[in-house]
């Protein structure tokens, strides 16, 4: 294990900082089914960390553990140098972890702008009375947070659909709005669950560009799950490979690509 | 033609975020307010007040309350009648215990007490959803009516078991009891409706409203982005019950004057307000007004047209009303789940370009 204070430099010369999140010996069971078995890895500040693996490997379960959706049966989650106690998902969100979902989880009845503004909720603290009167703190806060939300909307190039109800949008744009909502929270750690699932090549390129830009511009630490190997190998700094709930590889894309266990898991291996 | 937003530019987020972003809408709103406050009070008589205006104003408050809970936060409630009864009885107890305190205070306090009761009955909403929550609120409805019937303390041990509003005045003008002038009762209710509508609008366009709608649209995602579901649902129950309590207090003290709880605040009242919200439009403040106006006016119009003009027997007209409301509910649920408010929105979209559709 690397020391929390030291980092490394990527091939393209970006400086990666200390450990933001560390998973220590995580095991997750559902009854008799072991979804994740004794997995440890870390996520460092400013890096793009991918989790890959064949179907049913436990990637999404892992993301759900990080975002507090599942409580691990064994093991510890360390965030910013301290052990995370058992907490509800909304408390995890308040710690600065935002995520998107594999099958879009937007608020369909609300406009794009309102969806993005929900991402700012953890930063808005005015009381009920102030909001009921729409005076003082509530209004100032609304405007201040609107500015941040608008910045994200500009960044992801969705200005033209700002006032459109989400239900009317096509799939690719919905994915982008969901990313906007997660980004609006200005997260310390951004979790992306298959951000490119179901997209065509062009949309994938757009999304990849946005992910790189987010990392570059805001310095956001990103952990993502993705099936498209080309995308993963291009985007990520380090990759965790899972298979049947176990970790079978961890390292830079090149290391992982040449790892025999990983090749076996993806291509299959002859059983005798 | 009738409705334009060309040349209406916004230069700040405050302007973009106001209640009526389009200038035309805003003027219309000021005109409606001016007519409601400045003209109608001089024209109103007892018939108009009691048959149309008072029930409309009071039901509109109740509909806004239920709309916040069901339309914005997605929590189905069938306990509206019971919560209105809480408001009515709280107001009655306050009126008789503190006769010298202003009615404004009593009505607001009655709303506050109902909010507390609403939060108590809202607690199960964290665990149960949809139909099951509806049944839980139904239990609240029956329990509350039973409570006000059975515990004599609530009706001050009166022999009839009814509660009667004593005569009270605001700034020297009598507003309860048979001697209250129509314009005073009208204005009193109108002030509360205006306040409630403005508050509801402010809440629903801000942070709290977004939390409610997030819970309504997808509660799991809402929790992931940092909404505390228990807190969001309970604030919805509290605010909604506050409005419903205010409407119950006004319904008893200003409109009816005497109330027998099982008759006035029974399950039919819960359904009536729910129908208003469904026909008017779930998740719309304007829809609450439209729904309340529609269901208050429908029997009046039917009576005038059917009984007075066409000479049909009154019982047929009364039954016809039930048939029409029932049919309308089905029609709206199938064809336009967002109710009159959505029809209005579509009409505005069309009118914006009329007579040139492209």
Angle among Cα A10, A16, A19 to the nearest 5 degrees reads 135
For chain B, domains (ranges, CATH) are 21-266 (1.10.3470)
Question: Per the CB < 8 Å rule, is B207 touching A138?
Answer: yes
Q: How far is B207 from chain A (nearest CA, A)?
A: 7
Averaged pLDDT, A237-251: 90
Chain B residues near residue A89 by CB distance under 8 angstroms: 223-224
Q: What is the pLDDT of residue A271?
A: 67
Residue with tokens 């400045």: B38
Give residue B2's region: left, alpha or beta (phi > 0; psi -120 to 50): alpha
For chain A, domains (ranges, CATH) are 1-96+187-272 (3.40.50.300), 109-186 (no CATH)
Residues A12-50: b if buried by 16+ CB within 10 A, e if exposed: eebebbbbbbbbbebbbeeeeebbbbebebbbbbbbbbb
Nearest to B225 among A109, A138, A185 (CB): A185
Question: Per the CB < 8 Å rule, is A143 touching B13?
Answer: yes
Q: What is the pLDDT of residues A189-210, one digit of tens each?
A: 999 999 988 888 998 999 999 9
Residues A69-88: b if buried by 16+ CB within 10 A, e if exposed: bbebeebebbbbeeebeeee
**What Å distances lie between residue B283 and A164, B209, B218, CA to CA?**
16, 10, 15
Q: Does B15 touch chain A (CB under 8 A)?
A: no
Question: Per the CB < 8 Å rule, is B226 touching A185?
Answer: yes
Beta bridge partners of A242: A247
Chain B residues near residue A127 by CB distance under 8 angstroms: none
Nearest to B202 among A67, A131, A143 (CB): A131
Q: Does A198 touch chain B (CB under 8 A)?
A: no
Q: Does A95 touch chain B (CB under 8 A)?
A: no
Averaged pLDDT, A247-271: 85
Question: Per the CB < 8 Å rule, is B222 touching A107?
Answer: yes
Q: What is the pLDDT of residue A263?
A: 85
Question: Per the CB < 8 Å rule, is B214 touching A98?
Answer: no
Q: How far is A9 from chain B (nearest CA, A)?
A: 32
User: Whole-angstrom Cα distance, residue B47 to residue B335?
Assistant: 36
**What Å distances lie between residue A36 and A73, A162, A244, A246, B303, CA to CA?**
9, 40, 8, 6, 69
If one counts every other C-beta atom within 10 angstroms of the C-beta of residue B170, the result is: 15
Beta bridge partners of B258: B164
Question: Per the CB < 8 Å rule, is A143 touching B223?
Answer: no
Question: Per the CB < 8 Å rule, is A105 touching B202?
Answer: no
| Residue B169 parent element (H or E) | strand B169-170
Sequence-ordered strand ranges (E) for chain A: 8-9, 15-16, 19-30, 33-44, 48-52, 74-79, 82-83, 97-99, 189-193, 221-225, 238-243, 246-251
Chain B residues near residue A94 by CB distance under 8 angstroms: 226
User: Whole-angstrom Cα distance, residue A176 to residue B225?
Assistant: 16
Question: Per the CB < 8 Å rule, is B225 touching A119?
Answer: yes
Nearest to B202 among A90, A110, A133 (CB): A133
If one counts every other C-beta atom within 10 angstroms of the C-beta of residue B298, the result is: 15
In terms of CA atoms, which chain A residue is nearest residue B238? A128
CA atoms within 13 A on the CB side of B75: 37
- Count of A-B CB contacts under 8 Å: 103
Angle among Cα B82, B83, B86 to the nearest 5 degrees reads 95
What does DSSP say about strands A238-243 and A48-52: parallel, antiparallel, or unpaired?
Answer: parallel
Please give the ipTM for the structure prediction.
0.87
In chain B, the N- to C-terminal Cα span, in Å, equals 13
Least confident span in A43-57, A167-181, B51-65, B167-181: B167-181
In terms of CA atoms, which chain A residue is nearest residue B223? A90
Q: What is the pLDDT of residue A2?
A: 46
Q: How far is B216 from chain A (nearest CA, A)?
A: 8
Question: Per the CB < 8 Å rule, is B226 touching A122?
Answer: yes
Chain A stretch 31-90, residues whose beta carbon is closer than 8 A to a beta carbon of chain B: 67, 69, 88-90
Nearest to B213 among A69, A101, A110 (CB): A110
In terms of CA atoms, which chain A residue is nearest residue B225? A93
Chain B residues near residue A99 by CB distance under 8 angstroms: 224
Q: What is the pLDDT along chain B (358 residues), one digit of tens a residue?
A: 456 666 777 778 777 777 777 777 788 888 999 998 988 888 888 888 888 899 999 999 999 999 999 999 999 999 999 999 999 999 999 999 998 888 999 999 999 999 999 999 999 888 888 888 999 999 999 999 999 999 989 988 888 888 888 888 888 888 888 888 889 899 999 999 999 999 999 999 889 999 999 999 998 899 888 899 999 999 999 999 999 999 999 999 999 988 898 889 999 999 999 999 998 988 899 999 999 999 999 888 888 888 888 888 888 888 888 898 888 888 888 888 788 888 888 887 777 777 776 6
Q: Mean pLDDT in chain A?
A: 88
Nearest to B226 among A94, A126, A134 (CB): A94
How far out from the chain centre does Cα A32 lie? Answer: 28
Chain A residues near residue B203 by CB distance under 8 angstroms: 128, 131-132
Averaged pLDDT, A42-58: 90
Chain A residues near residue B72 by CB distance under 8 angstroms: none
Nearest to A121 among B203, B210, B235 (CB): B210
**What Å distances lie between residue B135 and A86, B125, B131, CA to CA?**
33, 11, 6
Question: Per the CB < 8 Å rule, is B226 touching A133?
Answer: no
**What Å distances lie between residue B43 and B30, B177, B301, CA to CA?**
19, 21, 20
**Tokens found for residue A267:** 């291509």
Q: What is the pLDDT of residues A77-119, one digit of tens each?
A: 999 888 888 888 889 998 999 999 988 899 998 999 999 999 9
3-state class (DSSP) for residue A34: strand
Q: What is the pLDDT of residue A115?
A: 93
């Amino acid at each position: 294990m690397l020391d929390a204070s030291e980092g490394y430099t990527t091939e393209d010369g970006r400086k990666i900082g200390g450990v933001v999140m560390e998973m220590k010996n995580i095991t997750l069971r559902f009854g008799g089914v072991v979804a994740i078995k004794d997995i440890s890895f870390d996520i460092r500040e400013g890096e793009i960390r991918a989790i890959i693996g064949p179907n049913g490997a436990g990637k999404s379960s892992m993301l759900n553990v990080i975002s507090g959706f599942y409580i691990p049966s064994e093991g510890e989650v360390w965030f910013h140098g301290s052990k995370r106690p058992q907490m509800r998902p909304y408390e995890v969100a308040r710690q600065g972890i935002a995520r998107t979902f594999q099958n879009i989880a937007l608020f369909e009845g609300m406009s794009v702008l309102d969806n993005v503004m929900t991402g700012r909720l953890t930063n808005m603290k005015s009381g009920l009375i102030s909001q009921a009167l729409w005076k003082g703190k509530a209004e100032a806060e609304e405007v201040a947070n609107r500015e941040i939300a608008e910045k994200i909307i500009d960044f992801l190039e969705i200005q033209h659909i700002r006032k459109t109800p989400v239900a009317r949008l096509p799939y690719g744009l919905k994915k982008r709005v969901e990313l906007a909502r997660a980004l609006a929270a200005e997260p310390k750690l951004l979790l992306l669950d298959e951000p490119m699932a179901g997209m065509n090549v062009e949309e994938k390129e757009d999304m990849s560009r946005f992910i790189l830009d987010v990392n570059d511009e805001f310095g956001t630490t990103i952990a993502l799950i993705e099936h498209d190997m080309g995308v993963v190998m291009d985007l990520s700094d380090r990759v965790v490979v899972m298979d049947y709930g176990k970790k079978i590889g961890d390292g830079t894309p090149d290391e992982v690509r040449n790892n025999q266990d990983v090749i076996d898991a993806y291509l299959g291996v002859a059983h005798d | 033609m009738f409705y334009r937003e060309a040349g209406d530019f916004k230069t700040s987020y405050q302007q973009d975020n106001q209640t009526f972003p389009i200038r035309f809408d805003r003027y219309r709103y000021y005109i409606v307010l001016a007519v409601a406050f400045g003209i109608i009070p001089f024209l109103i008589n007892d018939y108009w007040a009691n048959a149309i205006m008072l029930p409309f104003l009071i039901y509109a408050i109740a509909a806004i309350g239920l709309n916040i809970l069901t339309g914005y936060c997605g929590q189905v409630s069938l306990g509206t009648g019971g919560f209105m009864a809480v408001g009515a009885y709280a107001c009655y107890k306050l009126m008789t215990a503190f006769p010298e305190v202003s009615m404004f205070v009593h009505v607001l306090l009655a709303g506050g007490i109902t909010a507390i009761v609403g939060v108590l009955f809202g607690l199960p909403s964290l665990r149960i959803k949809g139909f099951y929550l509806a049944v839980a609120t139904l239990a609240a409805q029956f329990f509350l009516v039973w409570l006000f019937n059975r515990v004599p303390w609530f009706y001050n041990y009166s022999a009839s078991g009814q509660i009667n509003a004593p005569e009270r005045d605001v700034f020297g003008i009598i507003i309860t009891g048979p001697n209250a002038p129509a314009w005073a009762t009208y204005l009193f209710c109108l002030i509360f409706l205006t306040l409630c509508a403005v508050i509801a609008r402010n809440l629903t366009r801000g942070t709290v409203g977004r939390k409610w709608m997030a819970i309504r649209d997808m509660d799991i995602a809402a929790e992931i982005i940092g909404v505390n579901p228990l807190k969001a649902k309970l604030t919805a129950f509290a605010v909604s019950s506050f409005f419903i309590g205010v409407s119950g207090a006004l319904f008893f003290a200003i409109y009816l004057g005497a109330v027998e709880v099982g008759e006035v605040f029974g399950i039919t009242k819960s359904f009536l307000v729910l129908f208003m919200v469904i026909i008017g439009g779930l998740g719309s403040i304007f829809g609450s007004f439209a729904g309340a106006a529609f269901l208050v006016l429908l029997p009046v119009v039917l009576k005038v047209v059917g009984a007075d003009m066409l000479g049909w027997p009154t019982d047929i007209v009364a039954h016809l009303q039930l048939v029409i409301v029932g049919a309308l509910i089905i029609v709206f649920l199938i064809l336009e789940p967002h109710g009159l408010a959505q029809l209005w929105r579509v009409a505005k979209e069309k009118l914006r370009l009329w007579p040139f559709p492209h």
